[in-house]
Each structure stands twice: as structure tokens, then as C-alpha cells.
Amino acid sequence: MTASATMTPLTARRGGALRGSARVPGDKSISHRALILGALAVGTTRISGLLEGEDVLNTAKAMRALGAKVERTGEGAYRVDGVGVGGFQEPKGVLDFGNSGTGCRLVMGAVAGCPITATFDGDASLRRRPMRRILDPVGLMGARVTSQADGGRLPVTLMGARDPMPIVYRTPVASAQIKSAVLLAGLCAPGTTIVIESEASRDHTELMLAHFGAELRSEPDGAHGRKITLAGQPELNPAAVAVPGDPSSAAFPMVAALVVPGSDIFLPDIMTNPLRTGLIHTLREMGAAITEEEVRCDGGEAMAGFRVRASDLIGVEVPPERAPSMIDEYPVLAVAAAFARGTTVMRGLKELRVKESDRLVATAEMLRVNGIAVEISGDDLIVHGGEGVTSRNGGGQSEGVSGRGGGRVDTHLDHRIAMSALVLGLASERAVSIDDAATIATSFPDFAGLMRGLGADIG
């Protein structure tokens, strides 16, 4: 996405209970990976349930520019004819990833192992984000940066390695994007590429590589870490991918149902990979009524339907080691915390500073302009929830929430700040507005429509 020339403000107001069932879009992480691995396989991969958000569509465009055939055959249905590992062609133009760090960083890894040169760019938000975390390891593998903006920022021109070398790489931060970039570059290297992470991050790349026939081993390393060993130069076989619902998108209706009194909703087919469910774990510790139904497994990823009912939440302390399993969910957890009795302390959020916005500051600002007491202490976020929602769920007068809302939130080109702010507005005494809703289309194009279908007053 390029920064929208015209802003699209949007407002959420408190209304009746949220009711009914809603299907959230496909998982963003899996959608990117399905397109990239489909493009690196020899033959035809069919994908269903692909997230048709701007971030993923930019990855599809990049795969086309690199020589794969990517064809839309129906709603969320795609056919990808791959070029094989190492088979990318040099793209004619700049690869524009819009707002997407994941698309950009994973494709940098995939390009780094091929003897081609490509220029990577993105919107104002992506141009501010650090790329050295990818350029450093792929440099060790033989790729060369021929041009870059200050400090390894986009636009970056990368010359892939003619003879990529396998490496053993210990990631400096728990990041699935870094891990995935090294593994994707490692596909082109002879011998074994090893990535060691001290905190396990989402493992969709590993699961999908195995699904496409790569030889890969993942084993525990230390208390919370993992060591992933990939055999280089495999032939990837095309494999069907059914993309499950995105837990990071489900987080928004889920928290909305918890904090809007009387709500009772159902969200089918949400991915339940344990490296993504930190938010659900935390919300349950806070007293949330979230139950799993229709548990099943499809294409290596587990999924379930979630029933969510309005709940009296209490503040909790969220430990730093849980961050990788809920890294995208802190803004909306902060909204839940604003309606919980007592204080919620979220520890170890340094990585939030380099997301689509400085999400630590943007989350605190979102709450502050809506009258909620919040502090940042080092890398911790502390939200004072006050009296909780007990009286409201009993149908009485609101106590702890009086005076909340009424703010206009600056979303800083960050879709998750935008959606979190709207969820906040659904349960606050006064309406909450956002400056620009356009960025929501990067991950959850029909967010407002889906929420309205559940009864939310967003307009």
C-alpha cells in the first residue's frame, strides 16, 4: 500500500451486544508463505482461503515479477505455477511491498540465494523499518547490497549470491521473519543451513517447507528456543494449502465480544498453532469466557472454532517470554486491559517499537487520548483498567468506564492500531475515531463489515 492521499476517518460507538458467527480472513503469515513456496516449487500449487489483503497481494505481485505464474481462480483461490528453487528471474521493475514487513523480508531471503538483482521498496511505514536484520545474515551467505537508504532502510537493491553458502545463524531477536529469510536463502545453498533462536517464534515456514517436501528438522534449544536444520537444494513439490483463519485478525472481534456487555459470538476455523495463541492464553488468565469447539487439523496446522462471551476481566502480568506468541496482539490486549479490573503489566515489548509503527508508543497514545491511564516503563506497557466491567455486564450503570473514549486516534499507517482503537470505541462511553481506516485493508479488508454483521456500530 502506498500512503493514502486522502484519509478515510472511521468512528466506533457503544451499542448493543455483539451476536452471531463471523468468518475472519485467512492467516496473513501462511498466505505469504503459500505464495512464496508455491513459486519455489516445481509444478502447480493450489491455495484456498488466501488472505486477499494488500500485504499478501503485494507478495503475489512480487512472485509474478520473479517469474512465477500466480492466477486467481475464485474468492481466496489461487493457482501458482512455480519456477523451482533457485529459478527466480530478475524482475524488470522495483518490488513494492507496500506496508508489509513480512512480504519484503521473506522475499529478500528468497532472492538472496538466486543470481539476480532486485530492488525492494515499500510505503512510508515500511521505509522506516529495519532491514539490516535480514541483510546481515544473507550477506554472510554471499548476497550483496548495492544500494540502500540510511541504516539499511528501503529502498534496498540486493544482488543475490551466485554460489550461496550455508550458514549457522543465531537470530539476534525472536523473529520469524529473520528465521524465514535465512531458511529461504538456505534453500539455494548446498549443505545444511541452521537457524537457532533463543525464543521460539512462529514456525509456519518450517511446517510449510516440510509440507512441500523439504528435509528439515526442528528441535528444542535451551529453555524456550529452537534449532532448525534445513537440507539445501531440495526440489520442492507442489502441495495444496488451505489457509486457516488468522488468530491475529480474530483477536479484534474476540476482544470486542469480551468487553461489550451481553455479547456472545462464534469465530470458526481459527488457526491454533501454539506459537500464535499467547493472546488467548492471556485473556483466559484474565477471566475471559473463550471456549474451543470443532477442533481439527488441516495441512499441518491445527484450527478450532472459538465461542467468546462478554466477561468480567481482571488485570494480569504478561511475562516477556510470551511475547513471540502474541507479538501482534498487544494493542488489542491493551484494549482488553483498559476494561479489566486492576492493572495489566505487559513485559518485554522492545520489538513493538519496530512494527508498522512504534506500536508501544502508538498503543499508549491510543489509550491516553481516550482517557485511560497508561504508562511505558522501559520496554513494558502498563494499563490501569480501574473498576472493570462487572456492573455493565450485570446490565447496570457503568462504573470503571465512565469518561472513556472521545478521542481521535492517530493510526500511523498501522492497521492493528486502527482496529484496536475501533474495538475500544465499541465499549467506551464516548465514541472513538481513527484518522485513517485505509490501512486496515492490508490485513483485514472487510473488518468494518464483519464487525457490523455482529452488531457493531462502526461508520
CB of 102 to ligand S3P, least distance (A): 4
In the bound state with ligand S3P, the residue whose beta carbon lies nearer, of 335 and 427, is 335
Q: Which of residues 317-336 bind ligand S3P (CB under 6 A)?
A: 327-328
Q: Which stretch binds ligand S3P (CB under 6 A): 18-26, 78-86, 173-181, 251-259?
A: 173-181
Q: Which of residues 199-218 bind ligand S3P (CB under 6 A)?
A: 201-202
Find, among 122, 128, 129, the residue nearest to 97 by Cα.
122
In the bound state with ligand S3P, the residue whose beta carbon lies nearer, of 195 and 454, is 195
CB of 330 to ligand S3P, least distance (A): 10
**CB 393: neighbour CB atoms within 10 A?**
17
Q: Which stretch binds ligand S3P (CB under 6 A): 140-148, 171-179, 211-219, 449-457?
A: 171-179
In the bound state with ligand S3P, the residue whose beta carbon lies nearer, of 205 and 311, is 205
Q: How distant, in Å, are the alpha carbons of 80, 117, 118, 315 from that of 92?
A: 20, 10, 8, 53
In the bound state with ligand S3P, the residue whose beta carbon lies nearer, of 101 and 166, is 101
Contact residue for ligand S3P among 57, 110, 118, 176 (CB under 6 A): 176
Contact between 177 and ligand S3P per CB under 6 A: yes
CB of 99 to ligand S3P, least distance (A): 11
Contact between 99 and ligand S3P per CB under 6 A: no
Which residue in 96, 328, 410, 436 is the catalytic one?
328
Contact between 29 and ligand S3P per CB under 6 A: yes
In the bound state with ligand S3P, the residue whose beta carbon lies nearer, of 48 and 175, is 175
Q: Which stretch binds ligand S3P (CB under 6 A): 174-182, 334-342, 384-392, 419-427?
A: 174-182
In the bound state with ligand S3P, the residue whose beta carbon lies nearer, of 202 and 412, is 202
Do 28 and 76 meet the contact criterion of CB atoms below 8 Å apart? no
In the bound state with ligand S3P, the residue whose beta carbon lies nearer, of 9 and 172, is 172
Binding mask 336-365 for ligand S3P (x = CB under 6 A): ---------------x--------------
# residues near ligand S3P by CB under 6 A: 11
Q: Which stretch binds ligand S3P (CB under 6 A): 44-52, 170-178, 261-269, 276-284?
A: 170-178
Find, among 231, 250, 246, the residue nearest to 183 by Cα.
231
Based on the residue annotation, tell me whether 328 is a catalytic residue of this protein: yes
Q: Which stretch binds ligand S3P (CB under 6 A): 175-183, 231-239, 364-372, 404-412?
A: 175-183
Q: Which of residues 386-405 bind ligand S3P (CB under 6 A)?
A: none
Contact residue for ligand S3P among 175, 272, 363, 433 (CB under 6 A): 175
Please identify every residue annotated as catalytic: 328
* Residue ranges binding ligand S3P (CB under 6 A): 29, 102, 175-177, 180, 201-202, 327-328, 351
